[in-house]
Structure 1
């Protein structure tokens, strides 16, 4: 089995237009959630989100590209460029044939769906742009990343709601570990902060009107975000041979299904995924120093996740740090695990634990160290990243400090 390391990272989110900007905001405990600036916002009852601000597509892409790239694809391409540039890799010949792309997204081109439904139903037009289908399809981002960087190996998209990115990164990890690929570009993206996207989520009645406060007793729901994060996963020996900077090592992955309810989370399903990732990584509970929680800020998720962590870690749970960065960037749905992996890498590489901001009142059902409101300096060697999705699909990654 090959060892797998991360040699590049890129991001764009409500916290910044690069991985560095996003991480700086996490260190500062900055909140990227604010009033939505979208069409027909006055018709929404939920009017906040983790929106990417100050973004101009025309500064990044030409007119022909914009006609073909939905917002989620644009975000992915920008993050991928940053990650691949940091890795120092260039794909040609045999390396191109052995390198691929696995990305996660729940909704794909939601902005494109929204705009074209308006064109047909509201404006009464009978024709849409000929590129609507290739623009909105879930695999658009993965396909465009493969084309832009000449990646000719295994490439596809994973759509498992809020666990999409973790499932995608887990597949990328296993492909390199098994020898199927040398390099995988992986992560995820989402952009559904448009009228239809927000209106659909309103119907679930799980959204907060004012803030995301994971683990706080007065939490009142989740807040949507948008953006992308992309990583370069690479076989360790080849990364070492070319002198690449290694950001972290991926050491384990597990996925489970609750097989119980389409929206309510299961403590048992989450616990099996957490324990499975540690077993795959061959680490004990006392070796794990930090967990980036799924931590959506809903009553059901937070208490279920804390109970699962407590069950798996037992008395070691008292010495474990756990935080939810969704409090800062919002819930990126299919892209959320990717942005949250940045916080895991920061914990290992820089010794900085991203905080859970907005924490106001202790909740006896979430009685763990949730790193409230301010980042913390701490030395950790092993971290976990949790993702628990609607449909009862769970995916947990384990990472270790760079070798």
Structure 2
């Protein structure tokens, strides 16, 4: 019988001087390592959007991350996209975030809130009977999850030009509330097909005013939001996430030069970090890196398995400064330790990702 080749997978713990484990100064923050927790929608807030004790426990469990970026959280009631997502626009919600900040800080980590206005990715059942708003009245394909189950997306209402400053002000107010709650900063969600991304996308944004048409015009709203939040809490407490060319939530983009325009303008504001969702070998990662003077963060996306050794090489080569990890942090609250020791990882139960109780949320074992 012919011999059969045996392939042995060689694994290794991380060395103490691994680029992944080095501290990093990010604006006002000093992160203990460069393995950050990505924003992850989990739908566990109270029905009124107030963050609760279960969420405080969840985030505190994952405090080994150099920085925790919270789940997308609406800066206004009309900005809510899904049931049981947290808000940052009233006193009760602010108090809930204070509990979370205290729990994470007690474990020695840092946390920022991702501000996510869902725009057209919503439904009247979720926003108290109101019609969701968007840059243009373009209905997304597909269905959205509501308290009444999955329903067809409605056609959103186009924001009037004179309404835009009010939306900008809502972001700034939410940023102030976050910092007042003891949160370390905010991340603007300009990715994955939500409101800021909708303005950037030429296939969705059909406006003819100063917020539509050219790349500079389509970037204008995002830049105004970034400037307002930077003015409110300091640019060194503000990050932003983008996903060039990502078709999630029925986004259509042909002109990706808007991201070079956007990045150049945001660089002038002195924001703490730019968080790019793209595959590591996408040419746009290098293009934007060349335009960005501060901390540059990569997330390799929904369909790509986070690869510890690839991330280590990317940081060592200077391609990025830090990385964010999503699903692996869901199932492994002590992911940094497990990656450091090259320990076996828990498998995530995707049936518990969205909504529910402690099951699949705070009951994953640590080493």
State the TM-score bracket (shorter-chain normalisation). Answer: 0.3 to 0.5
Q: Which structure dedicates a bigger proportion of its chain to strand?
A: 1
Q: Higher relative CO (CA 8 A, sep ≥ 6), structure 1 or 2? A: 1
Using the size of structure 1 for normalisation, the TM-score is: 0.31
Q: TM-score, normalised by structure 2?
A: 0.33
